[in-house]
Every structure is written in C-alpha cells, then in structure tokens.
A = this chain, B = another copy of it.
Amino acid sequence: LFLAPQSVAFVGIPRKSGPGALNPVDNLRNWGYEGRIQLVHPQAREVAGIRTVNDVALLEPPIDLAVISTPRETIPAIVGDCGRKGVRALIVTNQGFAEADSRGAELQQAMLEEAGKSGARVLGPNTLGVYNAFDRFTSSFMPHDRTEAPVGLVCQSGVFFVGARILTGDVGLGVDIANACDIDLTDALQWLGNDNRISVIAGHAEALSGGERFLRATAEIAGRKPIVFLKTGRSPEGARAAASHSGSMTGEDRVADAVLRKAGVIRVDETQEMFEMIRAFMRLPPMRGRATAVVTLTGAGGIILADAMETYGLKIAGMSDSSLRRIRAMSPEWMPINNPIDIWPATMKHGMRNVYRMVLEDALRDPGVNAAICVALGLRPSEAERLGVVDLIQELSVQYDKPILVWLYGPEAAEAAAALERRGRSMAVHSLERAVRILSRMASYHQWKIRNVVSNR
C-alpha cells in the first residue's frame, strides 16, 4: 500500500503547481502515475487541474494511501478521519513532532493512538515518504528523476531522496523513515528485502532501533542481498543534532558498529564510500577472499597499492610461477621481479596488449587469486590503439567470475573510464586507494555470508 497505491489522497497540498511550486501532484504527473489522485484543501476548489474537497470525510473510498501535510495540531484528528475512511497507510510529512518539543512528542503519541484505532500504519512524521520508480509513484514534494535502478534506499532524511544522484547513485525504491514513530528501519528494510526488483540496499539512519528484531531481520536480508549502510550521529555533537533532527537516540557508536557487523551489513565511513560500494555491488562479481593481483604500468602505483592493502587488509597475490617466468623472460635482465611487478619495461619490448593480456589472464585463471586491480592508460584514440587495454579488460571481465577494478590515468582518463563501463563487468575507480577499500569491504561481506548463511542451514 505504501509503495504502490492504486489510489492516493493528499491532505494538505500547495495551492500552486508548476516549476518551483514543489507540488507532489506535479511530480506524479511527470512520472506518469496511473492510479487515482484525490486532494483535500481547505479553500481551493481545484489544484493542478484536479477538483479538491475541503474535508477528509468527502473523499471517495477506496483509498490505499493518504499523504498528510497540514499544521501539526490538526494531524491526530485527520489521522482518525482517514482511519474511518478505511485508509490503512498514512504518510505524515510535517515537521514539529518528537524531534521538536514536548508538545510535538504528545501530538506524535496522539496520532499513533488514532491510527491504532483503525489499524492504520504511519510512515513519518517529518518524512518525504516513499518513491517507487518501477510503479511510477512518489509522495515527495521535491522533484527527482525516475530511474528503474535495482537499488533500494531506506533513509532517515529527505536529503537522500533529493541527493540520490550524488549520495547513492540512481535508486528505484526509496523509503524515508524519518521519525519512525511506527514504520521503522526494520519494516522498511523488509519491504526492500522482499522486493525482487531490488538487488542492493542503501541504508542511512541516525539510530538503530528494534534490537533483536532488527538484527534477525537484517541478517536474513543480508544473506540474500548486500546492505550498504551509513550510520550517522557518531560524535557527541552529531548525536545532539540527531535528537533534534529525527528525535533519535543515536546510542553508543561501538554498539551500533557491533550490531551492524553481526548482521552482515557493510558499514561505510562516509557518503562518498556509500556511492562507491553500491556501484561495486551492482557491477562486480563476488570477492571470495583477500588475495588481489596487481597489474601495473607504474612502480609508484604498485607502492601506493601496497600501502593501501596494509591499511585495509588485503593481500597482494603473487604471480603464478609460469607468469613470473614469462615476465622475467620479457623484461630486461637487470629487472628485479617482485610483486607488485611493473610490467612497463616488458610492454615496451613485447607490446602492451600482448603482455597485459598474458599477465591479467594468468592472474584471473589462478585459483589463488580473488580479484585484480589494473592500472591502465587513458589515452587519445591515436595512441590508445597501441597502448589501450580497455577492450581487453572488458572481454576478460565477462570470461572470469572475479572482480576487476581499473584505475585509468592519462590525458583522457575520464573518457576511458566511461568507455570501460559501457561493456563488461569491470569497474573504473578514481584512485587506487579506493579500489583497495572497495575490495576489502566486499571480501568482508562475502566472509560473513559464508559463515552465516551456510551455518544457518
């Protein structure tokens, strides 16, 4: 009912519509919503070309979902009215409840009691509600693009709805639990967990409520699809701010950390990492261990990778003996052949594409290697013909079931990165350090899955 209502009523809505008016009806029209829309407005006869009524009592059932946005004092009564109309799903967008003051807390409680009488469920208050790109429904007054991406989002702030493009990448299904007075983090995770159109879940919360229920439900979902999670309010200042944002008790950060780890959730440290990890889980095959081969054209790059592997706990996979022998034969006799080995001198003598393919394919074939990090040149087309390896990596990325991350450098690095991702399963990264962090998190998730999902059967 929340995510794909056939019939929706907005109680309280801007009088104006069109660009800049932030009218949710405009957003539904732009998305091509095909259900029935009814509107309640105290004065207007018509909003956005739809006739309005001035009282919930005048709405025509059946109504699957009501989106309520009226002054806070009026809300408990409206919730009661909706219940009597048979509405079983309510989204309350207003601020001014438990996050605000003691009167707000009372009103939140009163609203819940009213909902309880009819058995209606409440999402919010203080929420943008939901969006569902697949079924063309959104309750949000903020405009955003509709993309049927297999990413589900649970968040405790509208910033993730509006800023999806920069925070998580495109999202297909989103739920803003906000104050979470009734529908909570666990409920929303279960909606996304049970939806087969969703293959990766992005989560944000200021508090992890629900204790044992949260842990059990989340672990069950994490066994089927990765959950990438940003838990905020970790600092004292942040915790104080969270109390007046969503009314959340953030709790001790190391407790949250332990719970998330136990539940198999991939906790990220910052928003940028969230974006990266979601992309990684969408594009890449599983990372089944910590041994990572490095194919580099630069010794300095190998050193940066070695440093990052120590920080994030990956191992450099040694090359196979046959590969080492072949590279040794191709390299100048003076060259020390250690891992991570710089193949540049060999490529200059025997051709970039030959040497690159040999080394990368050898690594991917090796059962002791779980993933590869590749350094490659992003050059102008004229030079790329001789020195480019983008197509070669694309080809190997579909032949072998191991993650390949590629750092491209050179005058056309950005163009080469975009070209790389147009085919195959490898992923371009902005920096070598990021590649290592991504693989390390993926390895931890896989380890958890093996231990937990297998042991529970």
State whether B163 touches A335 (Cβ < 8 A). Answer: no
A237 to B379, CA, bound (A): 30
Please indicate the chain B residues that have their CB under 8 angstroms from the CB of A61 in the complex: none
Q: Within 8 Å of chain B (Cβ to Cβ): is A8? A: no
Q: Which residues of chain B come closer than 8 Å to A368, judged between CB atoms?
A: none
Q: Is there contact, CB below 8 Å, between A167 and B409?
A: yes
Q: Which residues of B contact A83 (CB under 8 A)?
A: none
Bound: A72/B238 CA distance, A: 60
Pick the interface stretch among A31-39, A116-124, A131-139, A302-310.
Answer: A302-310
B244 touches A338 (CB 8 A): yes
> Chain B's nearest CB lies how many Å from the CB of A271?
5
Verify if A51 is at the interface (C-beta below 8 Å from B): no
Q: Does A114 contact B (CB under 8 A)?
A: no
Q: Is the CB of A235 within 8 A of B309?
A: yes
Closest to A384 in B: B20
Q: Complex: how many Å from CA A163 to CA B432? A: 12
Using A300-B206, A307-B233 as known contacts, say yes or no to A20 and B342 having CB atoms under 8 A apart: no
Is A211 engaged at the interface, CB distance under 8 Å to the other chain? no
**Contact at A157–B335, with CB atoms within 8 Å?**
no
Do A143 and B379 have beta carbons less than 8 Å apart?
A: yes
CB of A241 within 8 Å of the partner chain = yes
Asked if A410 CB lies within 8 Å of chain B CBs, one says: yes
Closest chain B residue to A332, Cβ basis: B96
- When C-beta atoms are compared, the residue in chain B nearest to A410 turns out to be B162
Interface contact A144-B411, CB-CB below 8 Å = yes
**Taking each of A157, A163, A241, A413, which has the highest tally of chain B beta carbons within 10 Å of its own beta carbon?**
A241
- One of B157, B160, B272, B310 near A237 (C-beta < 8 A): B310
A306-347: contact bitstring with B at CB < 8 Å (1 yes, 0 no)?
111111000010000000000000001011101010100100
Let me know if A70 is at the binding interface, CB within 8 A.
Answer: no
Query: Is residue A212 within 8 Å, beta carbon to beta carbon, of the partner chain?
Result: no
CB neighbors of B among A231-250 (8 A): 232-238, 240-242, 244-246
Q: Complex: how many Å from CA A167 to CA B379?
A: 15
Does A101 make an interface contact (CB < 8 A)? yes
Closest chain B residue, CB of each to CB of A162: B410
Q: Is the CB of A301 within 8 A of B338?
A: no
In the complex, A430 has a CB within 8 A of chain B: yes
Residues of B within 8 A of A144 (CB): 410-411
CB distance from A14 to the nearest CB of B (A): 10
Q: Is the CB of B338 within 8 A of A240?
A: yes
> Known contacts A159-B409, A166-B409, A238-B310; is A272 also within 8 Å of B433 by CB?
yes
Pairs A–B under 8 Å by Cβ, sample size 24: A19-B382, A19-B385, A20-B385, A96-B334, A100-B336, A103-B334, A143-B383, A157-B300, A162-B411, A165-B411, A166-B431, A236-B310, A237-B307, A240-B306, A241-B306, A241-B338, A241-B340, A242-B303, A244-B299, A244-B336, A245-B342, A270-B431, A271-B304, A271-B432
Q: What 15 new A-B contacts, CB under 8 Å, besides A19-B383, A240-B338?
A: A100-B332, A100-B336, A143-B383, A155-B300, A163-B413, A166-B431, A204-B300, A235-B310, A235-B311, A237-B306, A238-B307, A241-B303, A246-B299, A271-B304, A272-B434
